[in-house]
Amino acid sequence: MSSRIAFLKGHGTQNDFVIVPDPENAIDLSPAAVAALCDRRAGIGGDGLLHVVRSAAHPEAREMAAQAEWFMDYRNGDGSIAEMCGNGVRVFARYLQRSGHVGEGDLAVATRAGVKRVHIAKAGSDSGSAAGDITVGMGKAVFPDGPAESVSVSVGAHSWPARNVNMGNPHAVAFVDDLDQAGNLWAPPPVAPASAYPDGVNVEFVVERGPRHVAMRVHERGAGETRSCGTGACAVAVAAARRDGADPAVMGTPATYVVDVPGGRLVIMERPDGEIEMTGPAVIVAEGEIDAAWLHEHVEPARP
């Protein structure tokens, strides 16, 4: 391993990531290494890590290599593996654009939740940003137990019905009167029945802001409360559409929701065929080098 490893830091609506380019999958990023890098005091700091690998070089992505050159090997901030991260895909695409691997327009990104279609808008688009917003095709939402409320979320003595929504990763969406009711979201809110989420769950608390406009807070499994969650915003939008009687499959027209997160704003559109698109910003803020000796020293277990 080289004595130094290149990294970048980026965020999508303040959901922030350490980015490690590794086209040939040559860097061994153990869970402990990822947790050390994402540590906000002793490491670089991030809600998660984006390991950038060519699909053909990664055993989990080789079958997708014909469809997508690049694989987003996403890890949560505690080092655990996650299937998908919506904000992460946008930042991943922004990195590929910055590095010259892709330009404005369409591209495909392989993830553990399948191949995601991405569109990078031109700079100076309607958002007015220096770099255009990025739209990600997020696939279809799945209601594991049907569209009705099937689980509950609790904070202290309060409990709310929630919708079980899977966006490639699991979500429990609860509509509340005030986002402060979510309390301290660094600890995972209890969800019942626990059997509904054998691999853990992201929990969203949602309030109304206006017609087709909601705001949310989220606890992400493996990360705690984050400033944004792209798959969570999609889960919230589809849950809100069902609650509002605006299911696109029934109405025959797309449903578009503005979803405010603590770190900014995302726009979610669900088409009548169930396909969901998420649009929002993605920013690269820094780049540098990781000292591989430090990483080895801090994450390798002590030998007897």
Q: Active-site residues: which are they? A: 85, 229
Query: If you search the block for the tokens 């700091």, which residue do you land on?
Result: 45
**Residue 86 annotated as part of some ligand binding site:** yes
**Residue 263 annotated as part of some ligand binding site:** no
**Residue 200 annotated as part of some ligand binding site:** no
Residue 63 CB: number of other CB atoms within 10 A? 10
Residue 266: both structure tokens together: 């995302």
**Residue 220 annotated as part of some ligand binding site:** yes
**Residue 76 annotated as part of some ligand binding site:** yes
SS3 at position 275: strand
**Residue 184 annotated as part of some ligand binding site:** no
User: Which residues, listed in sequence order, are joined to residue 175 by a DSSP beta bridge?
Assistant: 206
**Residue 164 annotated as part of some ligand binding site:** no
**Residue 87 annotated as part of some ligand binding site:** yes
**Residue 288 annotated as part of some ligand binding site:** no
**Residue 226 annotated as part of some ligand binding site:** no
Q: Is the peptide bond before 193 cis (omega within 30 degrees of 0)?
A: yes
User: Which residues, listed in sequence order, are joined to residue 7 by a DSSP beta bridge?
Assistant: 288
SS3 at position 296: helix
Strands (E), the chain: 4-12, 15-21, 48-54, 70-76, 105-111, 114-120, 134-140, 151-155, 158-166, 170-175, 191-192, 202-210, 213-220, 224-226, 255-261, 264-270, 275-280, 283-291
The binding site for substrate comprises: 15, 76, 86-87, 169, 202, 220-221, 230-231
